[in-house]
């Protein structure tokens, strides 16, 4: 079906590396983080639940599948005192210095029952959006260490006050092992679908937001589609926003994946000049990748509009290096969509917002979608249609009205 969240006026900073942090800052209201802009004050350690389908955490075992079986742990990860937003400070060689690098402080292995109990304990007593969960699913060519420290960095930069959960799957550190990584991701689908159900079933959970990168976006969409086919429409009550960063997904495959989901919950971060996705396209017989579509190209824009998802263009940031990690690396990107994830979820209208023109803070284009198609079996029911916005209507950022989302740049952390 083709439902989208009503277009809202939001404050968008010039360069989108503050993108994810804004998503988190307003989602979690800053519960456990100190002011990163304050002198001498670094972020507090981050508790991260880790669910892994790798055989081990380091060495060759970390690149091998555990046959889809889960390994659970609760880890405390410290951040450097002088952490810079958008940076993942790690040593190039040798052991990390906790004063200068992200570093593991403690690790407690859990069984499945222990994971459920510890998750309930961490959620108990929380109020508001601090009851939310952020589930991070990394992409191809990502080590175990990089995935857990990257999540800690995103949580720190975003001042996320909810519960952080990492799903890590066997991904080698060799760009030539693309095919093997896809097989490992496929084997991990059941485990990820199970984890999403565990999170949404937690008694005190608010909303479960998912941030998935690259091939991890394909894995996430497969797990969600699989669950909905199996009758998992109940997830919709707890699912928050699903952010797909540089998704390495064939466009036609994504159309099929999204057909059973509520597209209004899905945000896609694209960059037409993402060189990693260009390589992926070459490896997949020149099939277009969702994350490399260009909102400024009429054909690509038309394809994006029919999907019913929100689209954010990171092409300017992808000019730096390979461009595939702009969602978390660019210094200004991590705060600009907090309004989207923090806002209440009203019945969605049939209006789609696309942020495409660079610089992205200049405007929001609201484009009407066609009438909702008949719902597929198991898909959520359509909301009553609202009057359509004019095509390409520009919503000035300065005209925020009462009740619209709070600009991320002015959001203050909640104690």
> What is the structure's pLDDT at 134?
92
**Under a CB-based contact definition with an 8 Å cutoff, are residues 354 and 295 in contact?**
yes
Highest mean pLDDT of the ranges 153-157, 232-236, 385-389: 153-157
DSSP state of 175: G
Share of the chain above pLDDT 70, in %: 60
Q: What is the mean pLDDT of residues 131-145?
A: 91
SS3 state of residue 266: strand
Output 17 or 194, whichever has higher pLDDT: 194
Closest Cα to residue 159, out of 393, 363, 338, 388?
A: 338
Place 55 in a pLDDT band, splitting at 50, 70 and 90.
confident
Q: What is the pLDDT of residue 262?
A: 83
DSSP string for residues in 354-415: EE-SSSTTS--EEEEPPPPPPPPTTPPPPPPP-PPPPTTEE--GGG--TTSPPPGGGPPPP-
- Of all helices (H) and strands (E), which one includes residue 260? none
- How many whole angstroms separate alpha carbon 289 and alpha carbon 222? 16
Residues whose CB falls within 8 Å of the CB of residue 224, separated by 6 or more in sequence, listed in order: 193, 196, 235, 242, 257, 261
Q: pLDDT averaged over the chain?
A: 71
From residue 292, give the alpha-carbon distance in Å to each of 126, 214, 270, 284, 315.
Answer: 39, 11, 6, 14, 9
Res. 317 pLDDT band, cuts 50 70 90? low
Helix (H, G, I), strand (E, B) or coil at 306: helix
283 band by pLDDT with thresholds 50, 70 and 90: low
Residue-wise pLDDT tens digits, 148-181: 999 998 888 777 788 999 999 998 767 677 888 8
pLDDT exceeds 50 at position 216 = yes
Longest dimension (CA), the chain: 60
List residues bridging with 48 in a β-sheet. Answer: 75, 164
Other C-beta atoms within 10 Å of 67: how many?
A: 10
> Mind giving me the DSSP string for 177-196?
GHHHHHHHHHHTHHHHHHHH
Mapped onto helix, strand or coil, the DSSP state of residue 168 is strand
Cβ-proximal residues to 230 (8 Å cutoff; 6+ apart), any chain: none
Mean pLDDT (whole number) for 123-146: 90
Residue pLDDT, tens place only, 57-84: 877 778 777 777 899 999 999 999 888 8
Model confidence over 13-31: pLDDT tens digits? 233 445 555 555 545 443 4
pLDDT range class, residue 336, cuts 50, 70, 90: very low
d(CA 89, CA 107): 20
* Residue 68 near residue 190 (C-beta atoms within 8 A): yes
- How many percent of the chain have pLDDT more than 90? 28
3-state percent breakdown (helix, strand, coil) of the chain, nearest 5: 35, 15, 50
Contact by Cβ (8 Å): 332, 18: yes
pTM: 0.73
Q: Please give the pLDDT value at position 242.
A: 92
Beta strand pairing call for 310-313 and 351-355:
parallel
Residues 6+ apart with CB under 8 A from 290: 217, 244, 247, 248, 249, 250, 251, 254, 268, 270
| Averaged pLDDT, 365-387 | 39
| DSSP element (H, E) containing 118 | helix 112-123
pLDDT of residue 21: 55
Which positions ≥6 away from 2 have C-beta within 8 Å?
A: 263, 306, 308, 350, 369, 370, 371, 372, 373
Ranked by mean pLDDT, which of 11-15, 178-182, 322-326, 334-338 comes out on top?
178-182
> Quick one: tokens of 172?
């080698």
Lowest mean pLDDT among 150-159, 166-175, 312-321, 387-396: 387-396
* Strand ranges (E), 64-199: 71-78, 103-110, 133-137, 163-168
Total length of the chain: 415
Peptide bond into 359 cis (omega under 30): yes
Confidence band of 230 (pLDDT split at 50, 70, 90): confident
Q: What is the mean pLDDT of residues 278-287?
A: 63
Helices (H) and strands (E) in the chain, counts: 11, 12
């Amino acid at each position: 079906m083709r439902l989208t969240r009503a277009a809202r006026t939001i404050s968008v900073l010039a360069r989108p590396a503050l993108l994810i942090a804004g998503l988190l800052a307003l989602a979690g209201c800053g519960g456990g983080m100190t002011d990163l802009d304050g002198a001498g004050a670094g972020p507090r350690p981050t508790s991260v639940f880790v669910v892994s389908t790798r055989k081990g955490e380091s060495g060759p075992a970390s690149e091998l599948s555990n046959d889809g079986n889960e390994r659970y742990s609760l880890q405390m990860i410290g951040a450097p005192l002088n952490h810079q937003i958008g940076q993942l400070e790690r040593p190039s060689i040798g052991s990390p210095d906790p004063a200068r690098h992200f570093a593991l402080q403690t690790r407690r292995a859990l069984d499945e029952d222990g994971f459920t109990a510890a998750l309930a304990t961490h959620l108990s007593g929380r109020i508001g959006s601090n009851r939310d969960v952020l589930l991070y699913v990394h992409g191809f060519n990502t080590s175990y260490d990089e995935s857990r420290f990257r999540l800690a960095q995103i949580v720190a930069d975003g001042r996320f006050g909810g519960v952080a959960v990492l799903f890590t799957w066997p991904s080698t550190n060799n760009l030539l092992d693309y095919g093997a990584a896809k097989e490992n991701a496929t084997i991990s689908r059941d485990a990820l679908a199970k984890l999403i159900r565990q999170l949404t079933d937690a008694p005190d959970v608010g909303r479960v937001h998912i941030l998935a990168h690259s091939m991890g976006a394909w894995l996430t969409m497969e797990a969600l589609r699989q669950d909905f086919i199996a009758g998992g429409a109940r997830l919709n009550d707890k699912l928050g926003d699903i952010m797909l960063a540089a998704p390495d997904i064939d466009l036609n495959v994504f159309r099929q994946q999204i057909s059973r989901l509520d597209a209004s919950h899905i945000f896609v971060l694209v960059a037409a000049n993402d060189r990693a996705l260009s390589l992926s396209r070459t490896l997949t017989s020149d099939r277009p990748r969702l994350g490399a579509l260009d909102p400024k190209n009429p054909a690509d824009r038309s394809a994006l509009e029919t999907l019913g998802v929100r689209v954010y263009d990171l092409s300017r940031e992808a000019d730096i290096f390979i461009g595939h990690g702009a969602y978390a690396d660019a210094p200004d990107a991590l705060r600009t969509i907090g309004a989207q994830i923090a806002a209440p979820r009203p019945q969605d209208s049939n209006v789609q917002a696309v942020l495409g023109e660079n610089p992205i803070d200049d405007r929001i284009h609201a484009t009407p979608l066609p009438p909702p198609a008949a719902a597929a079996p198991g898909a959520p029911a359509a909301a009553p249609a609202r009057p359509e916005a004019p095509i390409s209507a520009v919503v000035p950022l300065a005209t925020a009205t009462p009740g619209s989302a709070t600009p991320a740049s002015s959001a203050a952390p909640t104690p």
